[in-house]
Structure 1
Amino acid sequence: MIETIVLDIGETITRDDRYWASWADWLSVPRHTLSALVGAVVARGLDNAEALRLMRPGIDVAAEYRAREAAGRGEYLDDSDLHEDVRPALAALRAAGARVVIAGNQTVRAGELLRGLGLPADLVVTSGEWGVAKPHPEFFQRVLEVAQAPARATVYVGDHPANDVFPARAAGLRVAHLRRGPWGHLWAGDPEVVAAADWCIDSLMELRTIVGG
């Protein structure tokens, strides 16, 4: 029986559109150009920050992030950044008696913004707040702690094979690979991803069936 659902953030809960558009505007480059570079690094299996380094070789991403915040052009999230199925799916999971946790690779500020949206979740936490990021095993140890359920009764939901599917499986968790966003679609048919995932889903609404089963 599945007791807890833990969800990734980027392209699982939130759209990445605003994130990359804001970086393109900050760097004064065409949004399409940066978007294309993101696609290129995804296809090569690299961290998405590499897109910024391709656009601006030698960029100090952390320093630029701080500069954006100081200039009043930092991170921002509202309901328009959520995928349409997020609120109804999370509400349905809680109504079914499941514990719902949102935990992904994001900043401390992103965690604050997400909690401010009043999502139907028992806990929202980010790697920035934990001080450890996926795919490090310690991140998934933390996931198990906050899940408050055995590993085999906990499902981790995410779109990224290297950050979500494989390390969650290695930690003993059940895994739902979400076919959403560039990573989710690009790797959807990969044999290793299909073999590692317990479920491959197109919508978070499908999680209600998993809990019910």
Structure 2
Amino acid sequence: MRPTIQAVAFDVGETLIRDDRMWEGWANWLGVPRHTLSALVGAVVAQGRDNADALRLARPGLDIAAEAAAREAAGCGEQLDDSDLYADVRPALSTLQAAGLRVIIAGNQSARAGELLRALDLPADVIVTSGEWGVAKPEPAFYQRVIDVAGCAPDRIVYVGDHPVNDVFPARAAGLRTAHLRRGPWGHLWADDADVVEAADWRADTLADLVRIVTT
């Protein structure tokens, strides 16, 4: 019999938050048609590359960190509000907390994104980003930090995400249980991949599905 789940940790982009606004902002900043950048995102996803490569294809030689800082300085930086959340996020997180589970939000985002996420007053016990921790997925140290804030054994934690390479595979390697979410480009494209199917303890189409899985 498997250990009882005590904590659920969530990826952010395309798990809790739609990335539409982010990509639209970058398209506007770079002066690239939105459809062009969207198509480039799809292309790098299909090739198994990092999403940021879409920006480098749109603007060869782009220094993404420097450009992001320039956007912030110009008042065109990161923004998040309730309209960016998927509709099932608040109900799912609330239900998990009500069931006595520790809810953690931890993804590959900037420190600024961490501030914006906490300002949403989501029903979560911990909200933190790779920019604040100084280590990013898929590094094992990121998942050790997740284990530390969960305060329980790895096999009592479920990590939920859409990205096989950043979420499912490294979380499993760290000893966590995993749930792959069919959401966003990565989630849809790789949902039925044989390696993902084997690595994920569960696969879900919505967070409501996930709640039913981990609370029954």
TM superposition score normalised by structure 1: 0.99
CA distance in 2, matches of 1:94, 1:15: 22
Decide whether the 8 Å contact of 1:2 with 1:210 is kept in 2.
no
Where does 1:57-76 land on structure 2 (aligned, <5 Å)? Answer: 57-76=60-79
Query: For the Cα contact (< 8 Å) 1:165–1:175, is it kept in 2?
Result: yes
In 2: Cα distance, 1:51 partner to 1:153 partner? 36
> Given that residues 96 and 208 in structure 1 are in contact (C-alpha distance below 8 angstroms), is that contact kept between their aligned partners in structure 2?
no
- Partner of 2:146, secondary structure, is helix
Match of 2:200 in 1: 197
Task: Tell me the distance in 2 between the aligned counterparts of 1:210 and 1:200.
Answer: 10
C-alpha distance in 1, partners of 2:64/2:174? 30
| Structure-to-structure mapping, 1:162-201, within 5 angstroms | 162-201=165-204
Unaligned runs of 5+ in 2: none
Q: What's the CA shift for 1:115?
A: 0.1
Give the aligned CA root-mean-square deviation in angstroms.
Answer: 0.6
Q: Distance in 1 between matches of 2:214 and 2:15?
A: 18
Give the residue type in structure 2 aligned to 1:41. V
Deviation sequence 1:54-105 (CA, Å, 0-9, x none): 0100011011001000000000000000000000000000011110000000
Q: What one-letter code is carried by the residue in structure 2 that aligns with 1:174? A: R
Q: CA deviation at 1:210?
A: 2.5
Give distance in 2, aligned partners of 1:133 and 1:17.
22
Work out the CA distance in 2 between the residues paired with 1:117 and 1:208.
21
* C-alpha distance in 2 between matches for 1:70 and 1:197: 41
CA contact (8 A) 1:152 1:172 kept: yes
Which consecutive unaligned segments of at least 5 residues does structure 1 have? none
Code of the residue aligned with 1:84 in structure 2: it is: A
Paired residue for 1:86? Answer: 89
C-alpha distance after superposition, 1:82-137 (max 9, x if no partner): 00000000000001111000000000000000000000000100000000000000
Provide the residue aligned with 1:148 in structure 2: 151
Tell me how far apart the structure 1 counterparts of residues 8 and 142 of structure 2 sit (CA, whole Å): 16
Whichever residue aligns with residue 118 of structure 2, its letter is R
Q: For 1:206 and 1:2, how far apart are their aligned partners in 2?
A: 16
Return the letter of the residue paired with 1:91. S
Q: Structure 2 CA distance, aligned partners of 1:174 and 1:203?
A: 17
The number of aligned residues is 213
Report the alpha carbon displacement of residue 207 of structure 1 after superposing the two structures with TM. Answer: 2.4
- Using the alignment, how far apart are the partners of 1:60 and 1:164 within structure 2? 25
How do 1:51-130 residues align onto structure 2 when only pairs under 5 Å count?
A: 51-130=54-133
Match of 1:37 in 2: 40
CA contact (8 A) 1:93 1:207 kept: no
Question: Matched residue of 1:200: which SS?
Answer: strand
Residues 166-187 of structure 1 show CA distances to partners (whole Å, capped at 9, x for unaligned) of 0000000000000000000000
